[in-house]
Structures are given as C-alpha cells and as structure tokens.
Structure 1
C-alpha cells in the first residue's frame, strides 16, 4: 500500500523537475517585431507630409562629452501606426483615451496571399474569415487580427502603393471588405485589426467604408504592419504600443507578438503539463 501511495507523488516530483528545467532546458518565449523602421523616403499615404529626420547633435561636445539628439517631423499616420476611433468619428476615443488593455490580446494571423493574386485591390471577405475559423477555431474574444497579404512596406511605392505619384486616386492595395468588417462587429469580440497595407480599406476606395464600420465600434486599426510571415495563425499575444499623443487621431506604434511555445524537457507545453500534473494530484487524493 505504501508503494502504491508513493507512486503518484513520485510522478508529480518528476514532472515538476522536468518542467522546471531541473532535468532539461526550457526555451524562452519568442518575440516577433511587427513594426517597420521609420526612415526618410519610406512609403507614405500620398496626401501626407514626408517623414523628416534631422540631426541636431552628433559628436563630441565642448563640455567633454559625446551627445546625439535628433528632431523628427511627421504626420500622425506614419509608418506602422494606429488609427484611433477619432480618426473618422467625432467625439470618439482620441489616441490617448484608448485603454491600454484594448491594445493587447490573443493574436490571429489570416493569410490571404493566395486570394490576392493579381488583384491589388483585393478585399478580405467574410468567407475568408470563416474559412480561417474552420481550420483554426473561433476567433478568440478580445482578439487582434492581422491580415497578411505579403505586401512589403520596404519595397518602394509602386509595389506597395500601386503608384509613385502623390495622388490618392492612383492607390492600389488590398484591404478588408466592408461586409467582413460588419460581420466582425456583429459576431465577434475583436479589439484591433492590423494590415500589412497602407489602409484598412482597399486602395481604390474613395469613401473608406471599412474605417467607418470599425472605428465607431472602437475596433482599432493598425496599418503598415510588418513581418507577418513570422507570425503563426494562432498561439501569440499581440501588443500595440503607440506614442501617447494628446488629442491625437493616430500615432506611430511599436507592434510586437509574443509566442510562448516553451516546452519542458519531457516535451510538454505548459497547458499539457498543468493537465498531467492535475491528473497526478487526483491519483494521490484517490490513493489516500
């Protein structure tokens, strides 16, 4: 009887040792930077002022110390950036009024590269979202959706914007169909939707219906997201941390994802470990 009672306890101790790294080495969570570097000459919405970076100090100073300091000038909606609800909705959240908890959540990466093909104004559909759910499960509550169309911000204006002219009527880029936006508003609890494109609306849009559906419902938009090829469809937590501009309608934002796919030396993920540990504890209780 003593041997029988001791076995579950021994199992618990072994599992704890494996998971804590006593018998092996655990990996650290992976961080994925989803933000493009801001620099002069980067792609901009055609009606926005160019980003300017001016060196003020860079070198040894008369006081015997080295100093670097720079000045920047830009539109709020520059580089990887957030659109606050106030961008399209009078009286809605300004940038500094967005609750911090609204800017983090479980990540969802929807790959629409095959759908785009030669259609540079492809609009992600409700069917695309439902197809993703059929494969990966329901979009989680408080989710942050990222739409990956393999649109590369650093490749220059013609591949990314469809034109190198400062004329918004010549824009061509993928976006989210208004029907899909409305379906998300009506059926899912989503905090943020990000795009690896210049806009949430397709480039050929002149009325911005997707903006006008998402933002009044406090669904934050992130545009010019980068490196979505490194983000898995599920299993990440996304953080979008904008510069806190008072009275702002948007701001450059550091967006990143954390993927905690650590496993124990026994090859157990954290949820698996918790389940097995709970089962072992139940065995101990039953054996007493």
Structure 2
C-alpha cells in the first residue's frame, strides 16, 4: 500500500546538525502522524524556504520506510530529509545498476552458450541485401515487384504505393514450405536461427572458370581445416563473386538465355546438415546451380526444416569466419519465403 500526502517537516535548529548554526525558522505546522505499518511511501515535498538553513524540494520522492526507521527520526528537517534521500537513492541506484549488470551478463552468457561462435564484434556492420525493383533478375524472368501509386502528395498530402510482390525476389528467404508440403512457413522460422555465426566459403576461383560451379564437400572440409568446426546453428554462405555481376545479364544467364550461376551441391549440404548448420546462403539466384534440373539442394535441405537465403550481396567484405549474420525474415503468415533485410557484423 502507498500513502501519499503533502507536508512540511518542522524541527528545532538545535536538533538538526545541518541547521544548528542557522537562524531558527518561523513556526511551521505540525507534521502529519507517522504511518502505523511498514509501507512504500510516495511523498511530494513542497518545503518553502524560510531561512538559509532550509531548502526547497519539489520533486517526487520514492522511498521505502519501515516503522522502526520512521520512529528513529521523529524530528527530521527538510535539509536532513534531502541528504537522507540522496544517500538512499544512491544506494538504490547502485543496487539496480548491479542487478542490471548481473542480468546483462546472464543474458550474454545465455546467448554465448547457445551460440558460442557469435562474433566478438568490432562494430562494423555490412549490408548483405540488394536493393531491388521491377528490373531485378528473377528465376522465371517476370518482374518480382510491381508498384502502383495509391496516394500522391498532390492532392492527398502524402505518398503511398500499392505493391504486388512475388515472394522469391531480391535478396530473399526460402522457407521449408517452399519445397516441402506441410513444412514450416516463413513466419514460423525459429527466431534463434535468425541471428547466427556466419561461415563464408569462397569458391570465386572455380566460379570464374565455370559459371555453374558448386560448393563441394572438399570446400567445406577446407574451411573447417582453416577455421575450425562449423558452429551449431550457423549460416554457411557461398561467396562465388557473383554479386559483382549484378546489373549485368550474366548474373542470371548465359548469352543464349540458359540459366547459369553457382550454387551448392547436395553432397555439401548433406555434410553441413551433419554439422548442425541451420541455414545456407548464396550470392546467386538459387541454392542449386543454374544448370540443375532436379533442385536437389532445395528438395533435401528445406524439407529437413532448414532454410536458405538467395541473392546475398557484399560477401567479399566479410571475413571467412568470425562474423554474425542478422536475418530479417518476413513474417507473413503461411509464406513460402520472401524478401528480407540481411546484415552482418564483425
């Protein structure tokens, strides 16, 4: 229970060390009777200055008093009250600061125990997302997003588009439901897998020679030999150098129009599944290479409850190991995937 009252605290100058040498204040009204039971007390003090030995205090003061403490100070002047409140608030602040620090350390410990290889970030953030519009390359060649003006500054006073969006366009997520009937939709992706250690596997050299190059088990094993085990829950991303081709038709297809771009091999993703990786990513149009006819990676990786990210950008900026990826997956109910904002920190 809280008691709220307004009061001025009178005291004899001889009873107060802070006012002993100050002129005696004029007669004040009697203070209100002490509360009879321990309670939280919210008091709004409005003590009007009547001498150099008193001070004005107009502020909410939240204190916890017990009956014994109250009765030990039957004659407390305004100046004493202020000093006592200061000491009390400082002690509370120290308590709360300590508690907050303890809670923060506990939360950090929980995250680190769940994701032991999350980056010890230096503060650099990299956007792994392409800006996209109706000209962004898509698998079937149709525009992935269409804009229709719904409101204009003149005459409506504000601007608003109506968008028609195909889920798998731009930098986007492939949810299990994309290739597994009854699989998890994009809104049901476990949130703990949307922040993950990022492992970048570089295949730029062989992709420069073969546009349909794939990440193979040997590439995964080489990464492990160089950087250690792939952490549980990690996102493993292929860096084929394809991002540099964005804006050129070769990002999607050969001059004859046939799809051609690097991807993962099924053997490589089977190996990644054994490591406990939660997601894979590519800097190309598809998890499978462009010349795939059976979508073997889509058909095995996604139905196992994992997800993929297609169309990543700026992987060249990141280290092979030590970055953390933040996956801003869309959350439209029942979706098979969708455009996402992806960033990394290292």
TM-score by length of 2: 0.62
- From the superposition, tell whether residues 153 and 211 of structure 1 become closer, same or farther in structure 2 (CA, over 3 Å): farther
> How far has the Cα of 1:152 moved from its partner?
2.2
- From the superposition, tell whether residues 29 and 209 of structure 1 become closer, same or farther in structure 2 (CA, over 3 Å): same
Aligned partners of 1:48 and 1:75 also within 8 Å: no
> How far has the Cα of 1:156 moved from its partner?
3.2
Alignment partner, residue 201 of structure 1:
288
Aligned partners of 1:54 and 1:70 also within 8 Å: yes
Correspondent of 1:81 among 153, 168, 172: 172
Alignment partner, residue 338 of structure 2:
251
Distance between the aligned counterparts of 2:244 and 2:148, measured in 1? Answer: 22
Aligned partners of 1:141 and 1:190 also within 8 Å: yes
Correspondent of 2:268 among 180, 191, 200: 180
- From the superposition, tell whether residues 48 and 249 of structure 1 become closer, same or farther in structure 2 (CA, over 3 Å): farther
Distance between the aligned counterparts of 1:131 and 1:258, measured in 2? Answer: 24
Paired residues for 1:98-247 under 5 Å: 98-152=189-243, 155-156=246-247, 158-163=249-254, 170-185=258-273, 187-247=274-334
> How far has the Cα of 1:59 moved from its partner?
2.1
SS at match of 1:190: coil
SS at match of 2:192: helix
Distance between the aligned counterparts of 2:180 and 2:332, measured in 1? Answer: 17
1:33 paired with 2:127, answer yes
Q: Deviations over 1:82-119 (max 9, x none)?
A: 00001001111011111211222111111110122220
Alignment partner, residue 139 of structure 2:
45
> How far has the Cα of 1:48 moved from its partner?
4.6
> How far has the Cα of 1:47 moved from its partner?
5.5
- Greater C-alpha radius of gyration: 2
- Structure 1 unmatched runs, 5+: 1-26, 260-288
SS at match of 2:313: coil
TM-score by length of 1: 0.74
> How far has the Cα of 1:155 moved from its partner?
2.8
> How far has the Cα of 1:54 moved from its partner?
2.6
Distance between the aligned counterparts of 1:95 and 1:56, measured in 2? Answer: 28
Distance between the aligned counterparts of 2:218 and 2:197, measured in 1? Answer: 21
Distance between the aligned counterparts of 1:33 and 1:154, measured in 2? Answer: 17
Highest RCO, 1 vs 2 (Cα 8 Å, sep ≥ 6): 1
Q: Deviations over 1:209-248 (max 9, x none)?
A: 0111211222210000111111111111111112211111
Distance between the aligned counterparts of 2:311 and 2:208, measured in 1? Answer: 20
- Structure 2 unmatched runs, 5+: 1-120
- From the superposition, tell whether residues 224 and 146 of structure 1 become closer, same or farther in structure 2 (CA, over 3 Å): same
Q: Deviations over 1:151-205 (max 9, x none)?
A: 127633521011478x7xx2111000111111112x2010110100000001001
Alignment partner, residue 184 of structure 2:
93
Alignment partner, residue 272 of structure 1:
none
Which 4+ residue blocks in structure 1 deviate beyond 6 angstroms? none
What's the RMSD between the two structures over aligned residues? Answer: 2.0
Q: Deviations over 1:22-73 (max 9, x none)?
A: xxxxx961111100012121111125544212333342446xxx41211211
